[in-house]
Homo-oligomer: A and B are copies of this chain.
């Protein structure tokens, strides 16, 4: 006998969890399709050199790398961005640019397992590749707003910043040499005490940290952009235009500037953003991303600028679940009691009619004790059982029992029964 167990950092997905994930993914896909995004997929395994490039970073240590039976060094993808870059470089002649693609799939990292973090996890990415325009920046942010609204989440803040603007400012202040370090410190603004934040800045740029600190403090855009003009001679940036657009369409409540959003060490070069749910900021960002200016740099001489975003599926599921925003459904709506094996043909007649009306319905797969059939219905949360016993057959009626209330209703035709089950007040089906 072999002990049944799963690897550390991995887990099974039981029906309820898997149902929620499928619900969320299909909602996300519906939204992306409305905007004309196209699905792609890439292999789970890639050549090691594709995944790690010249490599050597923190991520590299976490990648599942091994030798296959052909002695090739291969690995499990650790994100969907590297495979996307490889995909674009390989298929540039088969793709319609600007290429709007989405990819929702698993990735793997051998991280130390923490609460809520697993070695196998989903990524849900969407990008517009091959164009550097303000319209595509706006589209991605607008899509995130609408996607979350359609999921029932309308209390969000999308915090945006622009790495190219930061670059300009740092240049004017004369601290360009420390750009990377400062971006990393800014990224930690909300995670560490203010005193520590200032200390960290001071350690690197001394008195000039005052300037950075001042920018992070502006609470409305007019003051901030006036300050940038007056002090640094920086005019009419893309960040300003993006923010103005969302003001113009009355979404200023949801899209704000935050100079501490930098996306740390990522490869972004333009607009960057993170999305927070106002009544659950602790959850962290549920949707982050930004603009990059050379996606395929290690694979191709052709430059592809683009903007992309990644949805935190697991965070969203836990939020939707907590706030009751996932419809409470039974997996199945009607159980036909199996009273007599020789009536199976009759049961199937009804089953097929239910299915034609898109009502989920099953026949208990054995003419066993009613108690057992009731228990199945209860355990599986099937709200109704249909009885077609001798009496019902004789009288040509259908007897429906509500499992919760115990109430019985009699129908004279299948059509009436279907009408009853299709009425959302009676049914809890999807």
Interface residues of A (CB under 8 A from B): 1-8, 10-15, 18-19, 21-22, 26, 29, 33-36, 38-47, 49-50, 53, 61, 64, 66-70, 72, 74, 76, 86-87, 89-91, 94-96, 98, 100-101, 106, 108, 110, 120, 128, 131, 133-136, 138-139, 142, 146, 245, 248-249, 296, 298-301, 331-332, 338, 341, 344-345, 348-349, 352, 354-355, 358-367, 376, 379-380, 382, 430
Contact = CB atoms under 8 A, between A and B. Distances in A.
B136 A360 contact: no
Contact of A380 (B29, B36, B245): B36
Contacts of A34: 354-355, 358-361
A376 B100 CA distance: 12
Contacts of A12: 40-43, 87, 90-91
A5 B90 contact: yes
A133 B332 CA distance: 21
A69 B146 CA distance: 42
A90 to B, nearest CB: 5
B1 A301 contact: yes
Given A7-B43, A7-B45, A15 B38 contact: yes
A235 B233 CA distance: 96
Given A45-B120, A139-B365, A341-B135, A39 B19 contact: yes
Contact of A120 (B33, B43, B96): B43
Given A47-B7, A68-B64, A365-B98, A134 B341 contact: yes
Pairs of residues from A and B, 5 with the lowest C-beta to C-beta distance, nearest first: A66-B66, A36-B332, A15-B38, A10-B43, A13-B41
Given A6-B86, A44-B108, A45-B108, 13 more contacts: A4-B90, A4-B299, A5-B90, A7-B43, A7-B72, A18-B38, A44-B120, A64-B68, A96-B379, A96-B380, A133-B366, A135-B365, A139-B365
A86 B4 contact: yes
B15 A42 contact: no
